[in-house]
Amino acid sequence: MPRINLCLTIVLTVIAITFTLAAATAQVSLRSLLPADNSISGWKMIGGSEQAAVNQDGLYDLFNGAAPDYISHGVSSAVQRSFRRGDIIVVVDIHRHGSWQQAKTFFTRLAKNLEGNAGRMTTTNIKAHYTHGSAAGATVAYMWNNRYSCSITVSQASAGARETAQTFARFISKKISAAHP
């Protein structure tokens, strides 16, 4: 009887360790970091607009000729989701990188593209590093937090569009921070 108890204890310990390791190494779903329908008041997902890339081939499908740049910055997967409120459209791309350093480097490169733009500003009141600029009638925002980078494109260039981009950035940054305390 004691031998059966010892064997049972060993088996249960191995199972517990296996589940603990699996939970610790499980990746957060990128979809779970993005807003759902109306989770940002008034913003509805555009049906059929979501696209995902879970490997390098998928990154080529999603980003076409830009895929090598994403891959060279450690992007291993990405999700794109679009939202609408009235005639305004927001397109959000979130990318998972191999490390926070790669996410920061990618953000820095993207943000550099906004230099010299009259609408460029940085926002520090969210737990992320964020910049945006208005160009060609749209507002583009970039942010990074932990191992993730994100681009948010609003189909207008206005103060309201900047606030919309910031609202989406805050939402996503909070989700990332909650998933990676």
Phi and psi at residue 75, to the nearest 5° = -75, 125
Task: Give the DSSP per-residue string, 142-173.
Answer: EEEETTEEEEEEESS-SHHHHHHHHHHHHHHH
CA dihedral 109, 114, 116, 120 (to 10 degrees): -130
Cβ atoms 78, 56 nearer than 8 A = no
Bigger pLDDT: 128 vs 22: 128
CB atoms within 10 A of CB 6: 10
For 27, counting Cβ atoms within 10 Å of its Cβ (0-12 exposed, 13-18 middle, 19+ buried), the class is: exposed
Specify whether the CB–CB gap between 124 and 173 falls below 8 A.
Answer: no
Average pLDDT over residues 90-110: 93
Cα 20 from chain centroid (whole Å): 25
Residue 148 pLDDT more than 80? yes
Is the confidence at residue 8, as pLDDT, over 80? no
Q: What per-residue string of b and e applies to 37-47 under the rule 16 or more CB within 10 Å gives b?
A: eeebeebebee
pLDDT at 149: 94
User: What's the whole-number mean pLDDT along residues 69-76?
Assistant: 94
State residue 19's pLDDT score.
43
26 Cβ partners below 8 Å, 6+ apart? none
Question: Residue ranges per domain, the chain?
Answer: 28-179
**140: alpha, beta or left, given left = phi > 0 and alpha = psi -120 to 50?**
beta
State how far the Cα of 45 lies from the Cα of 37, in Å rounded to an integer. 5
Given a cut of 60, whether residue 40 has pLDDT beyond it is yes
What CATH number was assigned to the domain covering residues 28-179? 3.40.1000.70
Predicted TM-score (pTM) of the model is 0.78
Count of C-beta atoms within a 10 Å radius of residue 80: 19
